[in-house]
């Protein structure tokens, strides 16, 4: 048995250089690394196929006509398949929002920061509660606006004020303001 | 595996012998669920629910494969393929669909009883820790499968359930929102999400079946537990699985399937939610979103965090909800009492029933609309859930004085009669058993 074991190890020992590194060790490391890198590279397509596809991304801008929205009214539209709230604030609602001190807010932002200069009455936000993604109430006529006069999420009771800032309930952030610009005083492009 | 007195497989049929010599599959089945598996003779009816869970998994796979033949996984077609095509036009489609819907509920009912059986009788303790942990893996897979299956009809509850549950992931800082978008393949649940949920809903039951095999394999190394928690010592303590437990499981399965049939035929929508008969509308949330009943306790834990404390309330809710299940993986090390069965642990027993009540309260709160007192009750019950496992169990196992355990399984159920105590199939007592009887 001893002679057999010796002969099995024989070639390897003769191949090792003075530093004790055998040629077979190098081959093992090279082969495993090659297979490993290959396996990781194969994961790439399997992972990226889950991300939004080109047709989903193609919907990433939406134009909306806001000419018919009177002060105190709002409309609900869609951007990237998500609801968007466009609200024409009344002077009183603007004043209510400006009255609040920033230190009272969970996610401190002023109404001016959440609207475009010269269009402070146009509050455009996603209609997606930042808690778990329900659509808050308050944009349609007669819907519950909650105690702060903005939006009220029926799922878990998050309450937003007239600048759509979180005031009470489990949601961590204000309703998100998407990227948008005024193409004309009555047309807005979102995205 | 198993015990030295386990009957070896001796096929009498030449065909079976021919197969067994080439592929010992009949031998495997005989040793796993046949006459070759010795089982403690004192099992009560709570030991029937593992087999029942297997039966409902089979029902779900069979009805599910058939339903998939008629279902369209498109946002335009899904709702009508379920509610028009399958429910009205496909022959017996209504029956298969209702059987699948209620089969999911029954699968969870029997699984919950199975889990609480394990909690009461200490089935998670050495040497069965891996049996318990594999069971939890099955349970997590069941939850994922059930959630994705509920999305497929693309009704209002399907859609908003998908929105809320994928919203859990957005609670994690930085990676949360990109992760959610990646999981959904969009910014809100839509075609991409529906198609992948369908694919995974078809896959996961087979993964569950695979883990079930591991669960049973791990169980058969030490053998089944029993209501006394005392180890099997001699052949007098056991009975062969077949015919004794196949018969008991058989009649009890018939009884449970009868209940299942009554619900499926006479109250098929009782456990569901009427809003899921409204097609999905991404612009309007139902006034009261609730998950399916089997998720209510977890939903209550999720909702019970309302105040930011270092981390946002939303993240706390999500962490607590996941934590409430992950915690159970550590149960074998949280409960250090060497006595397995709750029947011999007077203090543990009381706290066990408090836990049952606590989970029922959580279930009630999770399914009901929120108001101030339900929120407070949910918070109290959520806190108690964690206190039970993290504080009460370790303390009870350290300070409790358990009751006297029986010396053996046969002593606990028999009354010393030699004939009664003889191993199954032997009428005369074996030599040596006289000295230990009584």
d(C-alpha B362, C-alpha B301), whole Å? 7
pLDDT at A78: 86
pLDDT at B348: 96
For chain B, give every domain's residue range.
Answer: 22-289, 295-404
Mean pLDDT, residues B260-269: 96
pLDDT at B431: 47
User: Residues 6 or more apart from B341 whose CB is under 8 A from it?
Assistant: B120, B121, B122, B227, B228, B229, B230
Own/partner pairs for B243-246, CB < 8 Å, 24+ apart? B243/B35, B244/B39, B244/B41, B244/B424, B245/B39, B245/B43, B246/B33
- Reply yes or no on whether the pLDDT at A68 is more than 80: yes
pLDDT at B438: 37
Selected residue of B147, B283, B366, B367 to mutate for chain A interface (largest A Cβ count, 10 A): B283
pLDDT at B3: 87
Mean pLDDT computed over every residue of chain B: 91
- Reply yes or no on whether the pLDDT at B160 is more than 80: yes
pLDDT at B416: 60
Confidence of residue B421 (pLDDT cuts 50, 70, 90): low
Q: Which residue has the tokens 């949601």?
A: A171
CB contact under 8 A, A51 and B315: no
SS3 string, chain B, reads CCCCCCCCCCCCCHHHHHHHHHCCHHHHHHHHHCCCCEEECCCCHHHHHHHHHHHHHHHHHHHHHHHHCCCCCCCCCHHHHHHHHHHHHCCCHHHHHHHHHHHHHHHHHHHHHHHHHHHHCCCCCCCCHHHHHHHHHHHHHHHHHHHHHHHCCCEHHHHHHHHHHHHHHHHCCCCHHHHHHHHHCCCCCCHHHHHHHHHHHHHHHHHHHHHHHHHHHHHHCCCCCCCCCCCCCCHHHEEEHHHHHHHHHHHHHHHHHHHHHHHHHHCCCCCCCHHHHCECCCCCCCCCCCCCHHHHHHHHHHHCCCCCECECHHHHHHHHHHHHHHHHHHHHHHCCCCCCCHHHCHHHHHHHHHHHHHHHHHHHHHHCCCCHHHHHHHHHHHHHHHHHHHHHHHHHHHHCCCCCCCCCHHHHHCCCCHHHHCCCCCCCCCCCHHHHCC
Selected residue of B159, B172, B187 to mutate for chain A interface (largest A Cβ count, 10 A): B187
List residues of A whose CB lies inside 8 A of any B CB: 50-53, 56, 76, 78, 80-83, 106, 127-128, 130-136, 153-157, 169-172
Confidence of residue A64 (pLDDT cuts 50, 70, 90): confident
Nearest-CB residue to B164 (from A78, A106, A134): A134
**C-alpha torsion sign, points A24, A27, A33, A38:** negative
SS3 string, A81-118, reads CEEEEEEECCHHHHHHHHHCCHHHCCCCCCCHHHCECC
Mean pLDDT, residues B80-109: 95
More confident residue, B345 or A109: B345
Give the bridge partners for A152, in sequence order: A137, A159
pLDDT at A134: 85
Structure tokens at A161: 């004020």
Cα–Cα distances in angstroms (integers) from residue A139 to residues A73, A92, A125, B367, in the given order? 7, 17, 11, 27
More confident residue, A14 or A138: A138
- Reply yes or no on whether the pLDDT at B435 is more than 80: no
Own/partner pairs for B232-236, CB < 8 Å, 24+ apart? B232/B3, B232/B38, B232/B40, B232/B409, B233/B408, B233/B409, B234/B408, B234/B410, B235/B3, B235/B5, B235/B38, B235/B423, B236/B408, B236/B410, B236/B421, B236/B422, B236/B423, B236/B433
Tens digits of per-residue pLDDT, B246-256?
A: 999 999 999 99
CB contact under 8 A, B282 and A106: no
Tens digits of per-residue pLDDT, A44-61?
A: 888 999 998 888 888 778
pLDDT at B430: 47
More confident residue, B184 or A142: B184
Tens digits of per-residue pLDDT, B6-26?
A: 999 999 899 999 999 999 999
- A3 to chain B, minimum CA–CA distance in Å? 39
- Reply yes or no on whether the pLDDT at B172 is more than 70: yes
Mean pLDDT, residues B159-167: 89
Q: Look at B117-121, B208-212, B366-370, B393-397 and tell me which has the smallest mean pLDDT.
A: B366-370
Confidence of residue A1 (pLDDT cuts 50, 70, 90): very low
Mean pLDDT, residues B165-188: 88
Nearest-CB residue to A170 (from B170, B283, B306): B306
**C-alpha torsion sign, points B414, B419, B424, B429:** positive
With a pLDDT cut of 90, the percent of chain B lying above it is: 76
A78 → chain B, closest CA residue = B283
Confidence of residue B436 (pLDDT cuts 50, 70, 90): very low
For chain A, give every domain's residue range.
Answer: 2-48, 56-190
pLDDT at B154: 96
Catalytic residues of A: 156
- When the candidates are 1.20.810.10, 3.30.70.660, 3.40.640.10, 1.10.268.10, the CATH number that belongs to B22-289 is 1.20.810.10
Mean pLDDT, residues A33-40: 94
d(C-alpha B142, C-alpha B211), whole Å? 11
Selected residue of A81, A106, A152, A153 to mutate for chain B interface (largest B Cβ count, 10 A): A81
Mean pLDDT computed over every residue of chain A: 84
Provide, as residue numbers in chain A, all residues whose Cβ is less than 8 Å from the Cβ of B288.
154
Q: Which residue has the tokens 């329900």?
A: A134
More confident residue, A157 or B251: B251
Mean pLDDT, residues A126-139: 86
d(C-alpha B268, C-alpha B10), whole Å? 46
Q: What is the pTM of this model?
A: 0.86
Q: Look at A142-146, A160-164, B30-34 and tell me which has the smallest mean pLDDT.
A: A142-146
Confidence of residue A7 (pLDDT cuts 50, 70, 90): very low
Q: Look at A14-23, A166-175, A179-188 and tell me which has the smallest mean pLDDT.
A: A14-23
More confident residue, B360 or A2: B360
More confident residue, B334 or B410: B334
- Reply yes or no on whether the pLDDT at B127 is more than 50: yes
Structure tokens at A160: 């937003």
Mean pLDDT, residues B223-242: 92
Peptide bond just before B158 cis, omega within 30 deg: no
- Reply yes or no on whether the pLDDT at B152 is more than 90: yes
Mean pLDDT, residues B222-242: 92
Fold for A56-190, please state it: Rieske Iron-sulfur Protein (2.102.10)
- Reply yes or no on whether the pLDDT at B420 is more than 70: no
Confidence of residue B378 (pLDDT cuts 50, 70, 90): very high
d(C-alpha A16, C-alpha B236), whole Å? 64
d(C-alpha B38, C-alpha B343), whole Å? 23
């Amino acid at each position: 048995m001893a002679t057999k074991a010796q002969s099995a190890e024989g070639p390897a020992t003769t191949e090792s250089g003075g530093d004790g590194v055998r040629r077979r060790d190098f081959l093992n490391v090279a082969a495993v690394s090659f297979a490993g890198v290959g396996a990781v590279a194969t994961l790439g397509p399997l992972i990226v196929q889950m991300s939004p596809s080109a047709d989903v991304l193609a919907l990433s801008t939406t134009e909306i006509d806001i000419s018919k929205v009177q002060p105190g009214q709002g409309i609900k539209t869609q951007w990237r398949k998500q609801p968007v709230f466009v609200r024409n604030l009344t002077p009183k609602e603007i004043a209510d929002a400006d009255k609040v001190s920033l230190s009272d807010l969970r996610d401190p932002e002023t109404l001016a920061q959440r609207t475009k200069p010269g269009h402070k009455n146009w509050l455009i936000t996603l209609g997606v509660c930042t808690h778990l993604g329900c659509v808050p109430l308050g944009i349609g006529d007669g819907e519950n606006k909650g105690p702060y006069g903005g939006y009220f999420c029926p799922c878990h009771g998050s309450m937003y004020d007239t600048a759509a800032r979180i005031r009470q309930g489990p949601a961590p952030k204000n309703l998100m303001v998407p990227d948008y610009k005024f193409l004309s005083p009555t047309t807005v492009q979102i995205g | 595996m198993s015990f030295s007195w386990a009957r070896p497989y001796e096929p009498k049929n030449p065909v079976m012998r021919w197969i067994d010599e080439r592929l010992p599959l009949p031998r495997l089945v005989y040793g796993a669920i046949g006459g070759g598996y010795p089982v403690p003779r004192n099992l009560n009816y709570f030991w029937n629910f593992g087999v029942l869970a297997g039966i409902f998994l089979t029902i779900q796979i069979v009805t599910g494969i058939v339903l998939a033949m008629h279902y369209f996984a498109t946002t335009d077609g899904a709702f009508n393929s379920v509610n028009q095509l399958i429910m009205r036009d496909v022959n017996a489609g209504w029956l298969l669909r209702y059987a699948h819907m209620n089969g999911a509920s029954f699968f969870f009912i029997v699984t919950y009883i199975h889990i609480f059986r394990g909690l009461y009788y200490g089935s998670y303790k050495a040497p069965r820790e891996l049996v318990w942990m594999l069971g939890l893996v099955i349970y997590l897979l069941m939850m994922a499968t059930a959630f994705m299956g509920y999305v497929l009809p693309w009704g209002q509850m399907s859609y908003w359930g998908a929105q809320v549950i994928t919203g859990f992931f957005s609670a994690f800082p930085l990676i949360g929102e990109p992760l959610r978008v990646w999981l959904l393949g969009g910014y809100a649940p839509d075609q991409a999400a529906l198609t992948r949920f369908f694919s995974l809903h078809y896959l996961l039951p087979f993964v569950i079946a695979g883990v079930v095999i591991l669960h049973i394999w791990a169980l058969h190394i030490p053998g089944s537990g029993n209501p006394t928690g005392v180890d099997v010592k001699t052949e007098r303590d056991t009975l062969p699985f077949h015919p004794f437990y196949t018969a008991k499981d058989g009649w009890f399965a018939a009884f449970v399937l009868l209940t299942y049939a009554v619900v499926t035929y006479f109250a098929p929508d009782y456990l569901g939610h009427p809003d899921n008969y409204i097609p999905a509308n991404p612009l309007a949330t139902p006034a009261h979103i609730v998950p399916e009943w089997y998720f209510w306790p977890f939903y209550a834990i999720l909702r019970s965090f309302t105040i930011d404390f270092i981390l946002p309330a939303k993240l706390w809710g999500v962490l607590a909800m996941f934590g409430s299940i992950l915690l159970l993986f550590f149960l074998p090390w949280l409960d250090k009492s060497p006595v397995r069965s709750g029947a011999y642990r007077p203090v543990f027993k009381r706290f066990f029933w408090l836990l049952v009540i606590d989970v029922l309260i959580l279930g009630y709160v999770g399914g009901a609309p929120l108001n101030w007192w339900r929120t407070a009750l949910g918070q109290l019950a959520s806190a108690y859930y964690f206190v039970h496992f993290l504080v009460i169990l370790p303390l009870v196992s350290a300070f409790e004085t358990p009751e006297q355990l029986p010396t053996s399984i046969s002593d606990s159920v028999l009354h010393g009669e030699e004939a009664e105590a003889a191993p199954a199939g032997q009428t005369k007592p074996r030599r040596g058993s006289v000295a230990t009887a009584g």
